[in-house]
Amino acid sequence: MKRYSAFAVAREAFRFHSGWERAWRSPEPKSEYDAIIVGAGGHGLATAYYLGKNHGIKNVAVIEKGWLGGGNTGRNTTIIRSNYLQDPSAAIYEKARSLYEDLSQDLNYNIMFSPRGVIMLAQTEHEIRGYQRTAHANALQGVATEFISPQRVKELCPIISLEGPRYPVLGGLWQPRGGTARHDAVAWGYARACSDMGMDIIQKCEVTGVMSENGKVSGVRTTKGEIKCSKLGMVVAGHSGVLAEMAGFRLPIESVPLQALVSEPIKPCMDVVVMANTVHGYMSQSDKGEMVIGGGTDAYNGYTQRGSFHHIEETVRALIETFPMISRLKMLRQWGGIVDVTGDRSPILSKTPLEGCFINCGWGTGGFKAIPGSGWGMAELMAKGHSPLTEDFGLNRFREGRFIDESVAAGVAH
Using CA atoms, how far apart are residues 121 and 29, in angstroms rounded to an integer?
A: 49
pLDDT at 393 over 60: yes
Fold match flag (26-81+85-107+183-252+344-410 vs 118-180+255-342): no
Question: Do β-strands 60-63 and 200-202 pair in parallel, antiparallel, or remain unpaired?
Answer: parallel
pLDDT at 318: 85
Query: Cα–chain-centroid distance for residue 10?
Result: 33
Using CA atoms, how far apart are residues 101 and 111, in angstroms rounded to an integer?
A: 10
Using CA atoms, how far apart are residues 299 and 3, in angstroms rounded to an integer?
A: 46
User: Is-contact 57 229, C-beta < 8 A?
Assistant: no
List CB contacts of 367: < 8 A, sequence separation 6 or more: 42, 43, 72, 73, 76, 237, 339, 374
Q: What tens digit of pLDDT does each residue of 154-177 get?
A: 999 999 999 977 899 999 999 999
Q: What percent of the chain has pLDDT over 70?
A: 98
We find that the CATH architecture of domain 26-81+85-107+183-252+344-410 is: 3-Layer(bba) Sandwich (3.50)
Confidence of residue 414 (pLDDT cuts 50, 70, 90): very low
For 177-204, what is the mean pLDDT?
97
Does 17 or 100 have the greater pLDDT score? 100
Question: Taking the chain, what is the end-to-end CA distance rounded to the nearest angstrom?
Answer: 38
Does 190 or 303 have the greater pLDDT score? 190
User: Is-contact 412 126, C-beta < 8 A?
Assistant: no
Q: What tens digit of pLDDT does each residue of 265-314 get?
A: 999 999 999 999 888 889 999 999 999 999 888 888 888 888 888 888 88
pLDDT at 295: 87
pLDDT at 2: 84
**CA distances for 2 relative to 182, 187, 222, 247, 257, angstroms:** 22, 18, 32, 40, 39
Q: Cα-atom radius of gyration of the chain, to the nearest Å?
A: 21
User: Is-contact 329 362, C-beta < 8 A?
Assistant: no
For 324-347, what is the mean pLDDT?
92
Enumerate the β-bridge partners of residue 291. Answer: 285
User: Roughly what angle, to the nearest 10 degrees, separates helices 42-55 and 371-384?
Assistant: 50
pLDDT at 413 over 50: no
When the candidates are 3.30.70.2860, 3.30.9.10, 3.30.429.10, 3.40.50.12780, the CATH number that belongs to 118-180+255-342 is: 3.30.9.10
Domain limits, the chain: 26-81+85-107+183-252+344-410, 118-180+255-342
Query: Cα–chain-centroid distance for residue 13?
Result: 34
Predicted TM-score (pTM) of this structure: 0.95
Torsion of CA 115, 121, 125, 126, to 10 degrees: -70
CB half-sphere exposure, 117, CA atoms < 13 A: 18
pLDDT at 307: 82
pLDDT at 408: 54
Three state DSSP letters for the chain = CCCCCHHHHHHHHHCCCCCCCCCCCCCCCCCEEEEEEECCCHHHHHHHHHHHHHHCCCCEEEECCCCCCCCHHHCCCCEECCCCCCHHHHHHHHHHHHHHHCHHHHHCCCCCCECCCEEEEECCHHHHHHHHHHHHHHHHHCCCCEEECHHHHHHHCCCCCCCCCCCCCCEEEEECCCEECCHHHHHHHHHHHHHHCCCEEECCCCEEEEEEECCEEEEEEECCEEEEEEEEEECCHHHHHHHHHHHCCCCCEEEEEEEEEEECCCCCCCCCEEEECCCCEEEEECCCCCEEEEEEECCCCCCCCCCCHHHHHHHHHHHHHHCHHHHHCCEEEEEEEEEEEECCCCCEEEECCCECEEEEECCCCCCHHHHHHHHHHHHHHHHHCCCCCCHHHCCHHHHHCCCCCHHHHHCCCC
Q: What tens digit of pLDDT does each residue of 356-380 get?
A: 999 999 999 889 999 999 999 999 9
> What rounded mean pLDDT belongs to the chain?
93
Cβ neighbour number for residue 6 with a 10 Å cutoff: 7
